[in-house]
Every structure is written in structure tokens, then in C-alpha cells.
Structure 1
Amino acid sequence: MTEKYDLPGLKLRLEAAFHLKSVLEGKPFAPIAKDRLAESRDRALANRMVTTALRHHGHIDAVFSQVLSKGVPQRAGILEAVLRIAVTQLLWLDDIPAHSAIHLGVESARADKRAGRFDKLVNGVLRSVQRQIDQFKVLDNAGLIPGWLAAQWSGAYGADEVAGFAEILVQSPPLDLTLKTPDPDLIAALGGQPVFGPSVRVAERDATVADLPGFAEGQWWVQDVSAALPAQLLKPAAGERILDLCAAPGGKTAQLASAGAHVTALDISADRMERVRANLERLDLDAEIVVADALGYGPGPVFDAVLLDAPCSATGTFRRHPEVLLHRNADGIAHRVALQRKMLAHAASLLKPGGRLIYCVCSLETAEGESQIGWVEKNLTDLEVAPIAADELAGWSAPLTAGGAVRLIPSMTLPGEIAGGLDGFFIARFVKKPA
């Protein structure tokens, strides 16, 4: 970047724009790395710009439809991302005054060769947004969920729940932690609120995760309350041999290991498993780490229990990963359903007779959840459903399905009226019949 563009705040906005552009092109969101922005405050702001722009993607589309009569020019480098970041700042972030947001938006466009020729357009669009700011700040949330997903989810959960999903989408989610051991003093130090079992919710925090009380001492790990339930419902016992299939990022492995089980954690990604290994070391927990394709892993029926957190559409994670709403399609979901069935069959083959299997997905698609129970009953006759009861959820019956599974949805109210929503999840439990 030349000195001409070395303005305070410009570099982080350019990084945000380039990052957003890559996500809009189909890449998953990952926080901006330290080698791109050295200052932690700059990274935090740039990441917040990107995630807020993704949460309000449908709102920004509605803004563009009113202020860009011909739409966003195509083949214009980072122009669309620059506009989305600047509109996000004007409407939903209060880090700088509006005139500075407009100025830096224009300079961001000028810093890119292909976008620079549209600098006057950027200035005009942003000033138009500024003039109508009160109108644009109260746009309807109805368009935030893509139409095909809204129709699908309305059929499964009802239109009112889907409206609730949209409300949850535009909120920054709280931080959920799983404690290694119960500790009221630690919960108080974190400013947390107990949810289920070892899960604690931290609604507000000033420090980074690594600076929170108990992190360095390995007393907890980050894990959404929904993601913590499958391992709890598996009911691991000390000394049991348990396989955690598709184990990364490792929260479930840590839960199983902290219960005293002999855990084999398997995932296909070496990089992700290296992070699992590092986290287990911080937590002072042990597990056998295996990097392999789950379908090719075949020690035979040697496990007392298997936890299969299957590859899925991950549509239930839109609170933390709003880009999934833009990246998913019906064909991709159908492909994942077929893969999940192969993995269910393989997981069953690794169980001892009488062994337990948890199947879970962080998906809101019934094809990846409820429908898989029917497929198992028809095709894997050595498995039978082990129904989950309300007393296993501290009396919380709302997520229980007629088939004995658990269906969690983002707008669901947690016991105790705990705010902040939760990830969408489906959890089913099976037992392998005696030989």
C-alpha cells in the first residue's frame, strides 16, 4: 500500500473488504490473522465489520436496491465488499462518525485498481445512505433468511420460529464455555451464568478469550451449549473405550476425556487435529489422536460407545457463521445426507454389542436429522433408538421429538429464561443390539 493510502483506519477496512469478498465468493469465514493486522483492536474491529455485514446481508441488498438503480457494477474488484463494509459502518456500527466512514469507504475503493474508477459512485451511494439512515436502520428482518431456506424452515418449525431465527441472526451471540469441573468461584469470576451441566454462558466480556479467568489454567474450553449436549447424552463412564468421529474442534473429545474415558479422537484434517492436540494439552487431558478418513478407519467392533458428529450443512450455526446462509444449496444438503448414512453404517460396525451411538449434526435440515432415524430403523437393523428423556435435560422437554431425539433451534428459550439463543442441533441416540 502506498503512502497515498496510508490513512488511519484504512488498512483495517481494506482487510475487512478483501476478507468479505472472499466469503461472498464462497470461502468460509475465518478471523483475520495476526500477520494481516498486527493490532488486536484492529483485528477485532475488522472481524466485526465482516460478520456484521454478513448478518445484515439481506438488509444491505435492500439498501442497494434503493440507492443503486443499476445494481452494483460487476468485475469491479473489491467494490461490492467496500460498499457493504461502509454501509455496515453507517447503519450498525458506531466506531467512527458518518463522514469518516464515507471518506474511508471512498479511499478503500481508490486503493483497489478495478474499484477505484467507481469512487464517485461510492461517495454518492454512501451519502444517499446517510441521508436515509433512519429509514434504513429499521428495515424488515423478513429478507435476512434466503427464501428457499425460509420456506423449508417454515414448513418444519413454523413461520414464527423463522422470524425468530432472523432476530437471532442480527445479534452477536454470547460466549458459551464448558467447565472441566464445576466451580462456582470461577463462574462468578467469568461473570457467567450456568446453563446445563458444565455449560456456562458469558453474555458480556471485555477481554479476549485467552485472557479470561481460568483459560491459561485449562479450566474450560469454548463450546456452544448445544454442542455440549451430545457428549453428555452419550453418558461416558470412566474406563470406557469411546470413539469421537469427526472430532475437531475437540470440545466433545475434551468432555469424554474429562469423564475418564479412553478416547480415540479421529478427524480427516491434520491442521484441525493439531489444534485439538494443543487444546487437550492446555486442559491436561489425554486422548488418542488419529488423522484419517472416518470411512477408512476399521479396527472392528471394539468401542463401548461412538459419538458421530457428522459432516453436515451446518445451517444451525448461522448465529456464529452467518455465511452458511449464503453458501448452502439443496444439492449440497442431499450429498451430505448420503455421506451421513455411510458414516452411520460404519460407526455401527465399530460398536461392541450393547454399545451406544450418538448421531448429531449442527443442522436445521430435517433431512439431516429426523429423517435419518427412519433410515437407520429401516437399513441398520442392528441398531435401535434409545430415547432421550426430559430428566436427562434437567427436565427441559421442549427439544424432545416424538421419535425420542433432541431438536434444538436457535430461537429456543433455554431453561431459566437465559437469553442469547443457541445453535441449531439434532441429536439421536442408538444402542447396538446384542449379538
Structure 2
Amino acid sequence: MPQDRAAPEPARAPPPPVTPQRSARKERAGRPAAPPSGRPRPDAGARSAARPARGQPADARGGALALLAALREGATLAEAAAGAGLGQLAPAERARAQRLAAATIRWRGRSDAVLAPLLGRQPRAEMSDILRLAVTELLGLGEAPHGVVNAAVALARGAGPGGRAAAGMVNAVLRRAAGAQAQWDGAAPARLPDWLRGPVARQWGEGVAAAIEAAHETAPGVDLTGKPGAAVPGEPLPTGSRRLPPGTQVTALPGYEAGAWWVQDAAAALPVRLLDPRAGERVADLCCAPGGKTMQLAAAGAAVIAVDLSEARLSRVRANLERTRLDAALVAADALAWRPDCALDAVLLDAPCSATGTIRRHPELPLIRDGAMIPDLVRLQAAMIDHALALLGPGGRLVYAVCSIHPAEGEAQLAAALDRHPGLTVERPRMPGLDPAWITPEGAIRTRPDHWGHLGGLDGFFAVRLRRPGG
């Protein structure tokens, strides 16, 4: 997952955005235009964008700049990390590079507020990245000014003739920025893009939109879901998950090798708990990768059919099942075309979505999405709901879930499904530890990043349990 200043000069322009927004591609059913459930997915354009412009990064700061450069071309952080030349860095430096890049994006609203009055004109994008990174280290992470400023000047000088010419500016601006802690502390968080902020504010009000923006500045912890009765490390959360501090190395924790638990945000664990699977039930997990919900279903004793379009993603599900010693039938298929050999008792549909509920984990998403994918995603989700209902026997139940805070993918999608399917009913949640304020008037679960602020927040999710007539 951040002294001394001269009088400001007139007509200061703020630094340019970290990265241009880019329309997402339209893809086949089961493959979203944005990462499903917050899990970034590589594509050819992103792999090309993730190549560093100049050589290979020599340290964590250089690695962070390589990641930021890839983001400016539209890559996610995960895609950038896979192709930005970080492999030559030691594991600790590679992890630090990713933390620095994430913090720079997460706190961009504050760093831009500090830099705007100190800049006479907009620097080029590469220099803006260096300035934002350094300000984040100085004022957000409390690093020593001397080392941060010197490192930033060296990075500028290493960026070619233009960088060498700008090194003096970088030095002067950062020496003044080092004394701007009050401006940093008083700055507003980065705003949600208009295509997302507008619907959020209309649904819940300006105060909630601002609270979500503030929540996005906090690096998320590591949440775990365990097998029934297993000892799971971390602090208990009200809904049954356990939470560890950000950056925890999970592979070193007790129970990892034994497969007693797996990493899963507390909000992402709610849809299966809402479904309430029973031993022996035939349950399909559509769009299942990387398998957190598949493991929950299998641990409850259900006979699970886990469906995903991508063989590569299914290999991750298989590896997770092997580590946790759990069983499920894996099927590589388009979720809109797949049909079981007989009617199912239940279906879990974790549908492709905008992943806007996971911005606290993926702070780059507002910068590389422009909202153009929302209509296509809404149509795809509706088609998948209709198909999933057709897979159920009379009285069967469907849980529809998305890791999105866009109402079109949640609240409006539910209303439309009820209009299309007379007799379809919503079953209100009855789950221990669930905050009643998270239950919508229609009976769905709605979590937001500003919920559980005293516990470190959680992802934004919409989940609803639907019962087919009959039975």
C-alpha cells in the first residue's frame, strides 16, 4: 500500500496529473474491463507500458519511479511491478519500491497541495513523479530531509539532459517543501474522479464521498479467513475475519504452510457468509479466481464447481486449494455459456465489476480508469444474473456480489433484476457481527471504505441474496 519557505509567486499552476486516464477495453463475458474483485489483470498494453524508460532501477526510489512511469501509461501497480525491471532489486528493496509508489499515489492530493505554490511552471511528468515521491517521503513518511532531497536531485540528474537541467529546480523546491508540514497536514485527500464521485455523492451525500476519499489515504491491513475451528493469527473483527498490520509477511505466519487460512479482505468474505452454504449442497462459484470464496464454500462442506474463463487464473485457484487441502471441481469456461449437468442448490456470482471498492488497496485505479466501462459492465452483470438464476433449481438461491461503490453496479442492478424476474425475492442478512447500518432498505449488504474507520476500514462491496421461486 508519507524550514523554510519563500513567499509564493503569482499564477502558480499545479503539477500535472500523475497519469492520463484511459478508457478500458470491452472484453468477453467473464473478463472485465477493470480488475474483478480488485485483482489486477495483465494485458499486452500494460506489459509494454511497464517497461522502464531508462535502464534498470538501482534502488527502491528508482523502482518507485519506474512504477509511476508505467502508471502514466495506464498500467496497474501489479502490472507495472511485473514489468518495470524490479527483478534485479533485493526483495526488501522491491517491496519498498512498491510501498513508495503506492504511498505517492495515495497521498497525491496532499503532495500536489504542497507543490502547487512552489512551482513557477509545470515540470515534465518525470520530474513531477520525482517531486511527488520526495514530498511523500518528507512529509508523509517523515524521512530525513537531507537524504530525501539529495536522492531526488540524483534521480533528476540521472534522467537525461532534461533532468540535469531540472536538478536545481528539484533541489530548491524540495528544500522549501521540507518546511511545509502544516500545508501537508491541512490538505484535502485526492478527490474521486467525477465519473465516480458524482454517483457516490448522489447516493450517500457529499459527506460520505469525502469520508471515502479520506479512507483511501490509509494503507489497508491484511485480513485472513480461516477454516472452521482453525487457529488464525491477527486481531478478531466483528464479522469473523482476522486482521494484521499492513505489510505483514503472511508466508511466515503460523498456519500458512498447514493451509489453515488464506488472505481475504473482511468485506470480500461476506458474500459466502450471506449465501450460508451447507454440507453437501451443489454450489457454483462463477468468476472464481483467485479462489478465496471457493475455499470458503469448500471449507463449509459444499460440493463446489469453480468456474473461470482463464486457465491461468484457475491455476491460482488450484494452488490455493492445494495449500489449504480443500477440494473443488475447476472448470475453465465462459460463465455466460457454462451450464452444469443438473440444477444447482446455490450460485455465488462475484461478478466482473469496476473494482472501485478496492481503491484503498489499488490507489491507481482512479487514475487509469475513466468510467467508460460502466455501461458495458452493467449490461454484462445483468446478463450474468439472469444466466445464474437459470442454473438454479426451484427455491435455489443466488448471491450476487461486486467489489464496487458505484451504485449502478449494486443498488440499481438489484432493482433492475427484481423488475426482470417477478417472484424473485431478497433474503435479508442474518449474520453475526454485521453492522445493521450496512443493510440497505432493500435487504442487501453495502460496505464502504469509510466503514470501520476505527479498525482500519474495509473494501467497498455490494452483496445480495436472492431466492428463486418454488421449492
Fold shared, TM-score > 0.5 on shorter chain: yes
Task: Provide Cα deviations, 1:331-369, integer angstroms capped at 9, x if missing partner.
Answer: 221221111111111112222222111001011111100
> Where does residue 55 of structure 1 map in the other structure?
106
Amino acid in structure 2 at the alignment position of 1:346: H
- Looking at structure 2, the residues matched to 109 and 35 of structure 1 have their Cα atoms a distance apart, in angstroms, of 19
Whole-Å separation in 2 of the counterparts to 1:114 and 1:283: 53
Q: 2:414 aligns with which of 353, 364, 373?
A: 373
Of structures 1 and 2, the one with the larger relative CO (CA 8 A, separation 6+) is 2
- 1:397 is matched with which residue? 436
* Offset of residue 204 of structure 1: 6.5
Kindly tell me: are residues 98 and 395 of structure 1, through their superposed partners in 2, closer, same or farther at Cα, counting changes over 3 Å? closer
Q: 1:114 to 1:175 in 2, by over 3 A?
A: farther
SS in 2 for 1:141: coil
2:464 to 421, 428, 433: 428
Cα deviations by residue, 1:301-352 (Å, 9 ceiling, x for unpaired):
5221111111111111111111122233332212211111111111122222
Distance 1:393 1:401, change over 3 A: farther
* Cross-structure match for 1:387: 427
Q: Residues 129 and 136 of structure 1 are in contact (CA less than 8 Å); yes or no, is this contact kept in structure 2?
A: no
CA distance in 2, matches of 1:433, 1:325: 40
Q: Decide whether the 8 Å contact of 1:91 with 1:136 is kept in 2.
A: no
TM normalised by structure 1 equals: 0.88
Q: CA deviation at 1:52?
A: 0.5
C-alpha deviation, 1:259, in angstroms: 0.8
CA contact (8 A) 2:282 2:344 kept: yes
Q: Deviations over 1:224-276 (max 9, x none)?
A: 11100101111111111111111112110000011111111112233222111
8 Å contact 1:307–1:359 — kept in the other structure?
yes
Which amino acid is 1:324 matched to? L
Report how far residue 176 of structure 1 moved: 0.9
Task: Name which of 123, 127, 147 aligns with 1:100.
Answer: 147
Q: Which amino acid aligns with 1:413?
A: W
Q: Is residue 2:214 matched to residue 1:167?
A: yes
Distance 1:115 1:153, change over 3 A: farther
- Tell me the alpha carbon deviations over residues 53-108 of structure 1, each in whole angstroms, 9 at most, x when there is no partner: 1111222332332222321325xxx33322222221112123x4211111111222
Going from structure 1 to structure 2, the CA distance change for 1:115 and 1:89 (only over 3 Å counts) comes to: farther
1:17 is matched with which residue? 65
1:193 aligns with 2:232: no
Q: What is the rounded CA distance, in whole Å, between the counterparts of 2:97 and 2:86 in structure 1?
A: 14
Distance 2:70 2:246 in 1: 30
Q: Which residue of 2 aligns with 1:326?
A: 367
* Cα shift readout 1:139-192 (whole Å, capped 9, x = no counterpart): 322543334433332221122222221221111212110011234xx34xx342
Q: Where does residue 312 of structure 1 map in the other structure?
A: 353
The one-letter code of the counterpart of 1:265 is: A
Residue 123 of structure 1 pairs with residue 179 of structure 2: no
Aligned equivalent of 1:67:
118
Q: Which has the higher mean CA deviation after the structures are superposed, 237-246 or 137-146?
A: 137-146
2:312 counterpart SS class = helix
Q: 1:116 to 1:142 in 2, by over 3 A?
A: closer
Instruction: Specify whether residues 331 and 204 from structure 1 end up closer, same or farther in structure 2 by C-alpha distance, changes over 3 A only.
Output: closer
The alignment's C-alpha RMSD in Å is: 2.4
> Which residue of the partner structure matches residue 87 of structure 1?
135
1:47, 1:204 → 2: CA distance?
13
The 3 A distance-change label for structure 1 pair 378 and 147 is closer
Cα contact 1:407–1:427 (8 A) shared by 2:
yes
SS in 2 for 1:144: coil
Match in the other structure for 2:343: 302
SS in 2 for 1:247: coil
Partner of 1:279: 320
CA distance in 2, matches of 1:430, 1:137: 47
Q: Which runs of 5+ in 2 are unaligned?
A: 1-54
- Give runs of aligned pairs for residues 163-242 of structure 1, distance below 5 A: 163-183=210-230, 186-187=231-232, 190-197=233-240, 199-203=241-245, 207-242=248-283
Q: Secondary structure at the match of 2:330?
A: strand
Counterparts of residues 126-141 of structure 1 (less than 5 Å): 126-130=174-178, 132-141=179-188
SS in 1 for 2:269: helix
Q: Structure 1 360/395 Cα, relative in aligned 2: closer, same or farther at 3 Å?
A: closer
The letter of the residue matching 1:18 is: A
Instruction: Indicate the structure with greater helix content.
Output: 1
- Give the whole-Å Cα distance in 2 for the aligned partners of 1:350 and 1:294: 11
Letter in structure 2 aligned against 1:120: G
Deviation at 1:375, TM superposition (A): 1.1
After TM superposition, list the pairs within 5 Å mapping 1:338-353 onto structure 2: 338-353=379-394
Cα distance in 2 for partners of 1:24, 1:100 equals 26
For the residues of structure 1 that align with 2:339 and 2:379, how far apart are their CA atoms? Answer: 20
Superposed displacement of residue 427, structure 1: 0.6
- State how far apart, in whole Å, the 2-side matches of 1:142 and 1:97 are: 24
Say whether the 8 Å CA contact 1:15–1:36 is kept in structure 2. Answer: no
TM-score (norm: length of structure 2): 0.81
Q: State the SS of the aligned residue for 1:307.
A: strand
In structure 2, do the counterparts of structure 1 residues 276 and 246 end up closer, same or farther at CA, with 3 Å as the change threshold? same
Q: Give the residue type in structure 2 aligned to 1:388.
A: R
Aligned to 2:436, the other structure's residue is in SS state coil
Aligned to 1:265: 306
Q: How many residue pairs were aligned?
A: 413
Percent of aligned positions that are identical: 40
Amino acid at match of 1:297: W
2:7 matched residue in structure 1 = none
